Amino acid sequence: MIKVHTKNLVTTITLDRGEKRNAMLPSMLVDFEAAVRGISEDTKAVVVLGAGKVFCAGFDLKVCAADETGETMRALLTGLSSCVVAMRECVVPVVLGVHGCAIAGGCAMLGGADVVVADRGAKLGYPVVKIGVSPAVSAAFLMSAVPAGAGRALMLDPGLIDGVRCFELGLVHELVEGAGDVKGRAMEMAGVLAGKPGVGVRATKGLLNELTEGVAGRAGEGLGVSLSRVGSDEEREMLGELWG
């Protein structure tokens, strides 16, 4: 459910569960983190994409609802945090392309990227408060990317915003007209980055990682808050209603 392909110094990592809108499973996140941390020495840029009609609709909540122990949700939250940190710590630039939507865990993935491309009509946000789950796992990364007031609103408001608004806030860095344009532009930008002197780019990425070390370091705090809500009566009831 994760595809990895390297060509012309660019490694492309694709969420490959398009028939389920790339809804995340714990195994997908394990494989994704391994792919990011296992890039070859020849790679000069990474592109993250989603197969099918959308980038990612978040966690597979049907699987979560079927697991009364909450272990699936815990594994997803932990895996998501690890994936975002892995992208942040990657030694080369990471370009992420959002087409169609990036919701909840899908939106959280943006926090690990250096450059985010999205189409104007894409829908993004963190609506998991509707099911009694805290999106705090994303908080450290979101609050470093957008103004504080906007970040607080996105964390607390279960609504979605479009690509244009995300661009205005700084959550998205490059806008394209349609969903079909995202992949091409993301690959183009990665190619430009890969064409720059590798030593200089890696040194710059390393410095950026040092300057923002506190963000990745506080990821564990956000994860802890999100994990604390797993298994609550509210969460179980809302998940049950969602799939009942």
CATH of the domain at 12: 3.90.226.10
The residue to which tokens 């060509």 are assigned: 7
pLDDT digits (tens, 9 = 90+) for 169-224: 999 999 999 999 999 999 999 999 999 887 888 888 888 878 776 677 778 888 89
Q: If we measure between CA atoms, which residue out of 96, 94, 107 comes closest to residue 166?
A: 107
Decide: helix, strand or coil at residue 57: coil
User: Would residue 184 count as lying in a domain?
Assistant: no
pLDDT at 124: 97
User: Would residue 194 count as lying in a domain?
Assistant: no
User: Would residue 192 count as lying in a domain?
Assistant: no
Residues 6+ apart with CB under 8 A from 10: 43, 44, 45, 46, 47, 187, 190, 191, 194
Which residue segment(s) compose the domain that 229 sits in? Answer: 2-178+212-243
- In which band, very low, low, confident or very high, does the pLDDT at 22 lie, cut at 50, 70 and 90? very high
User: Would residue 193 count as lying in a domain?
Assistant: no
pLDDT digits (tens, 9 = 90+) for 131-165: 778 888 988 888 888 999 999 988 888 889 999 99
More confident site: 5 or 133 = 5
**What's the structural domain count of the chain?**
1
pLDDT of 73 over the 70 cut: yes
Per-residue DSSP letter, 123: E
User: Would residue 8 count as lying in a domain?
Assistant: yes
Q: Are 135 and 174 in contact (CB under 8 A)?
A: no
User: Would residue 153 count as lying in a domain?
Assistant: yes
Token code pair at residue 118: 């999205």
User: Would residue 115 count as lying in a domain?
Assistant: yes
Least confident of 15-29, 76-90, 227-241: 227-241
User: Would residue 112 count as lying in a domain?
Assistant: yes
